[in-house]
Amino acid sequence: MKKYKFTASRMVLLISLVLAVFYNYAFFSNVTKVYPLSWEKLPFLCSLFVLLVSAVALLLMFFCSKYTLKPVLILVLTVSSLASYFMNTYSVVIDDTMIRNVVQTNSSESMDLLNLKMVCYFFFLGVLPSTLVYKSKIHYGALKTELLSRLRGTVILMMIMLATVFGFSAYYASFFREHKELRYYINPVSWIGAAVDFSTHSLKGKAAVVRPIGTDAAIPATDTNRELVILVVGETARADRFSLNGYGRETNPRLAKEDIINFPNMFSCGTTTAVSVPCMFSIFGKKDFSDKKARGTENLLDVLTHAGVHVLWRDNNSSSKGVAARVPYEDYKSSRTNPECDVECRDEGMLSGLQNHIDQYESGDILIVLHQMGNHGPAYYKRYPKEFEQFTPACETNQLEACTTEQINNAYDNAILYTDYFLAKIIALLKQNSGAFETAMIYMSDHGESLGENGVYLHGMPYFMAPDAQKHIPAVMWFGDTFKTDKEALKSKAQLPFSQDYLFHTILGLMEVSTSIYDKSLDILNFDN
């Protein structure tokens, strides 16, 4: 192939132009929703294009050396091709939380995202232009000449950006202040900034010692009744798809027959598993939560262990996100441990051998956490056995854009129906143990899911701009007949707005754990209504 000759600065400018034109459909489509295309706004929209090209070029200008330019450009093009695919296809945005979610995603979840369209994006926007960059001959002058050229280019780009902003200051005043969410769609600036933030926080957040909390936790000697509590951490279930919450389809036929307490106004701490799961088990509420704090501080499971509770975490998802780092943990994503596997391992398999686990303890309370695969997307059709395909036709591909809204909803609702079955089986198991224990089940999803409303799919949007579909989650409780709690009083306040902030203290209250860190006002069972 013939080699094309460029200077470093011209190569940077060319790639910046290509990125702005071919990789930023999501950005400009969202911009035109805020600033509808018209002759009046056309000059501003053109200035925005110039500003984008200049900003990307300024960012890449720092890597204009002989040994860094091509590797950096190839990395930017390949990653940007994938970012473009996800933003265009699912309307997701790339921030540090999304980067954390990607890093913590296992291989099977990654394969659920792979499809022909994604491969085409990667080839035509990633591999092909990267090959042209690799084959291009770039002329580098003497070091002094290159430094002066880079400085001159930087100054020119900054002047263009300033002139652009000041030339349309009336527009940009509102653009930067009122529409901050648009910056999350700028490719590659968004994912580069997110990667830097994630790396910085990860390096700063590596705690050498985990700070203990609740070391005074104990169960009073006067409490002679043993508790057996199963806490189910749901995955990607949204509240408005539970028929318990008024959904038109019967997605909870089995739970509806049980004496459950439903919480129709429960909201998540985050919009991804990587945030919500650590947050719901931490002592920090959503307002004070951070990944660094969570990793550097003991959580609910540690406090229960201090009190002598036998804790077990079983996982059919990617991991506990660090929550179960110091308690017994069992992975049920493999057929080696999970007997209920077909196209994938089923949540139901986590119940295998659970009675034997309960029977091994002759004394003490027991908490079992079951982390579901639930409704993890986009391959909703894989999340349930075929016999639960009640709503048809179901979307049977991970390319949601290839399915109708009805097909997507059908597949998603079938997965909710399987969760209903799974929870009913847990209740049946607990009923078998009600003679020896005070039994209870708590189910709470980690976050919700967008199913194409306003062109948005999946989850993971920054919380401030995420739709309620990604934050409004289902939550239910069930108590055995011998459990000492005022169910009627609890039902009377179940309609109140709650969040995952309440889980930490509710579990402590539920298991009658006495500790100085317990906050009664955040205990759903015991706070004064």
Q: Give the residue numbers spanning the domain of 433.
A: 227-522
pLDDT of residue 205 exceeding 70 = no
CATH at 358:
3.40.720.10
Q: What is the dihedral of CA 465, 234, 493, 230, to 10 degrees?
A: -150
Q: Provide the token pair at 529.
A: 């209504």
Can you give the pLDDT at residue 318? 87
Answer whether residue 215 is part of any domain: no
Answer whether residue 529 is part of any domain: no
What's the average model confidence in pLDDT over 41-52? 93
Can you give the pLDDT at residue 173? 67
Q: Provide the token pair at 231.
A: 């806490």
pLDDT of residue 418 exceeding 90 = yes
Residue 1's pLDDT band, with cuts at 50, 70 and 90, is very low
What is the domain count for the chain?
2
Same-domain pairing of 164 and 304 = no
Same-domain pairing of 46 and 103 = yes
Answer whether residue 426 is part of any domain: yes
Tally the C-alpha atoms within 13 A of residue 313's C-alpha that lie toward its C-beta: 24
Tally the C-alpha atoms within 13 A of residue 256's C-alpha that lie toward its C-beta: 12
What's the average model confidence in pLDDT over 329-338? 94
Q: Show which of 204, 236, 251 is a domain's final residue.
A: 204
Q: Provide the token pair at 89.
A: 């296809």
What's the average model confidence in pLDDT over 336-346? 94
Assign residue 339 a region: left if phi > 0, alpha if psi is -120 to 50, beta otherwise? Answer: alpha
Answer whether residue 441 is part of any domain: yes
Give the Å distances, CA to CA, from 218 to 50, 307, 320, 360: 64, 4, 25, 22
Give the Å distances, CA to CA, from 429 to 155, 277, 337, 418, 439: 70, 25, 19, 17, 10
Same-domain pairing of 344 and 447 = yes
What's the average model confidence in pLDDT over 180-194? 88
Question: Between vectors from CA 470 to CA 469 and to CA 474, what angle results, nearest 5°?
Answer: 75
* Distance, CA of 170 to CA of 179 (rounded, Å): 14
Backbone angles phi, psi at 389, to 5 degrees: -80, 75
* Distance, CA of 243 to CA of 416 (rounded, Å): 10
Answer whether residue 211 is part of any domain: no
Handedness of CA 513, 516, 522, 526 (dihedral sign): positive
What's the average model confidence in pLDDT over 356-367? 96
Q: Which one has a higher pLDDT value, 192 or 105?
A: 192
**Do 154 and 51 touch, CB atoms closer than 8 A?**
no
**Burial tier of 48 (Cβ tally within 10 Å: 0-12, 13-18, 19+):** buried
Answer whether residue 527 is part of any domain: no
* Distance, CA of 148 to CA of 144 (rounded, Å): 6
Give the Å distances, CA to CA, from 470 to 246, 284, 319, 445, 474: 18, 21, 20, 11, 11
3-state secondary structure of 271: coil
Pick the range with the lowest mean pLDDT from 29-38, 177-186, 371-380, 487-496. 177-186
pLDDT of residue 4 exceeding 70 = no
Same-domain pairing of 93 and 235 = no
Answer whether residue 406 is part of any domain: yes
Assign residue 141 a region: left if phi > 0, alpha if psi is -120 to 50, beta otherwise? Answer: beta
Can you give the pLDDT at residue 76? 95
Q: Is the pTM of this model over 0.85?
A: no
Can you give the pLDDT at residue 398? 87
Q: Which one has a higher pLDDT value, 174 or 527?
A: 527
Answer whether residue 221 is part of any domain: no
What's the average model confidence in pLDDT over 423-445? 97
Same-domain pairing of 180 and 277 = no
pLDDT of residue 3 exceeding 80 = no
Average pLDDT value for the chain: 91
Same-domain pairing of 237 and 168 = no
Can you give the pLDDT at residue 145? 74
Check whether the bond before 378 is cis (ω within 30° of 0): yes
Q: Provide the token pair at 151.
A: 């400085």
Same-domain pairing of 272 and 371 = yes
Same-domain pairing of 139 and 197 = yes
